[in-house]
Structure 1
Amino acid sequence: MSDGILAGGLAALLAGLLGSIPFGLLLTRAAGLGDIRAIGSGNIGATNVLRTGKKWLAAATLLLDFGKGVLAVWLVTTLFGPGHAPMAALAAVLGHCHPPWLGGKGGKGVATALGVFLGLGWGVFVAAAAGWVVGAAASRISSVGALAAMAAAAVTGFLVLRMDAAVAVAVVALYVTIRHEANIQRLRTGTEPRIGAGDSGNGK
């Protein structure tokens, strides 16, 4: 019992530390653009990095934030077994959203959530990616794509994953949705900008 608790704690710590790497901040500083938290929404995610005007930097941030989610689940599964994968998914996303190195103020978690979805099951990732594409294309609003992706993942998880992993996917999806509270409010009032039309505050 104690060994299982220790393994679970180590798995969560490892995944959380991987998730907490603030790639958006590190990359913008390395590129000589200063502190990304002083730009746009103040978020460290790819959407806010895009506001620097450096598309390649935003793409790199997106891929790295996605990759750390995949890596967290894969590494924990390899080291501690598949039973710890759901916890790793949760810890990685929480680490991204609340990195201790930045006072707990991180991104909204979309890219990292997509990464852990792929780590838990490719079917969930495909559903989430399709949800984002359809939602964003239909509305031309990035946050609608993100919300559609989370909804699609949550539903699909219960169809294709075992129960503990499906619950983890649903919790991650719900938490990322909650992180978009301000975006949801702007959607309700019709003030959420469309893609390419200005600052949406939808940092990932």
Structure 2
Amino acid sequence: MLKDILLIIGAYLVGSVPTGLLLARAFGGVDIRTTGSGNIGATNVYRTLGKKVGIMTLAGDCLKGVIPVVIAKQLGLPVEWVAAVGAAAFLGHVYTIFLGFKGGKGVATALGVFLAMAPLAVLCALAVFIAVLLKWRYVSLASISAAAAMPVGIILLGSPLPVVAMTLLIAVLVIYKHRENIDRLRSGTESKFKS
């Protein structure tokens, strides 16, 4: 039990590492929180510092979700503990202890969690993300749509209840963290994605 609790704490701390902030400082000498949208995630890093650093941020944030879940699974933890580890990694990114519990929106870290737990469901959500992005060119709308689609995929795949609960928690928080984007989408002031 103690080992499992320590793993959850470790997952939260791994998730809390502010990848975008660190990479923006290292490669651009800027505090990403004071540029663009002010978000520490890959989209803002991409828009501020370009494709290379944006992709590095996306990969780093994704790995924060993958690594703790893979470790939990390799240790043979029950599914409810694996789900808790995934949720902890996600919550670390969204509410990072290193930035006063103010973090990113969690999309890339959630992607990492689900790649390690339910890759088939990720394919469904990814298809939704790509379709929405290509149609409307809004990363925020694509992210919100994919977050909403993920629990559907998880349920259709017959995933255990702890995984369903974790997925619903993540989906709700991802959408909640996009509330300002939703306001801008409604007002027509949201920035479109430029490749």
TM-score range, shorter chain: over 0.9
- The 1-side partners of 2:89 and 2:66 are apart by 9
Q: RMSD over aligned Cα, in angstroms?
A: 1.6
Higher deviation after alignment, 105-114 or 37-46: 37-46
Conservation of the 8 A alpha-carbon contact between 2:24 and 2:49: no
Give the TM-score of the pair, scaled to structure 2.
0.92
- Deviating beyond 6 angstroms after TM superposition, the runs of 4 or more aligned structure 1 residues are none
Conservation of the 8 A alpha-carbon contact between 1:66 and 1:115: yes
Q: Show the 5 A alignment for 1:181-200.
A: 181-196=179-194
Offset at 1:32?
Answer: 4.0
Offset at 1:54?
Answer: 2.1
Aligned length: 193
Which 5+ residue runs of structure 2 have no aligned equivalent?
Answer: none
Give the TM-score of the pair, scaled to structure 1.
0.89
Offset at 1:180?
Answer: 0.4
- The 1-side partners of 2:62 and 2:128 are apart by 16
Offset at 1:7?
Answer: 3.9
Conservation of the 8 A alpha-carbon contact between 2:124 and 2:153: yes
Conservation of the 8 A alpha-carbon contact between 1:14 and 1:76: no
Q: Are positions 1:98 and 2:109 aligned together?
A: no
Q: 1:54 aligns with which of 50, 56, 80?
A: 50
- The 2-side partners of 1:82 and 1:59 are apart by 33
- The 1-side partners of 2:26 and 2:190 are apart by 31
Q: Which residue of 1 aligns with 2:176?
A: 178
Conservation of the 8 A alpha-carbon contact between 1:114 and 1:128: no
Offset at 1:80?
Answer: 5.5
Q: Which amino acid in structure 2 is aligned with residue 162 of structure 1?
A: P
Q: Percent identity?
A: 41
Q: Deviations over 1:48-107 (max 9, x none)?
A: 111323210000000111111111211122236142111011111110011111111111
Q: Which residue of 1 aligns with 2:137?
A: 140
Q: Which residue of 2 aligns with 1:202?
A: none
Conservation of the 8 A alpha-carbon contact between 1:7 and 1:80: no
Residues 87 and 189 (structure 1 numbering): CA distance in 2 closer, same or farther, change over 3 Å?
same
- The 1-side partners of 2:17 and 2:49 are apart by 22
Q: Which residue of 1 aligns with 2:154?
A: 157
- The 1-side partners of 2:103 and 2:62 are apart by 14
Q: 1:66 aligns with which of 62, 68, 76?
A: 62
Q: Which residue of 2 aligns with 1:33?
A: 29
SS in 1 for 2:49: coil
Offset at 1:39?
Answer: 1.1
Q: Deviations over 1:104-136 (max 9, x none)?
A: 111100101111111111112111211110111
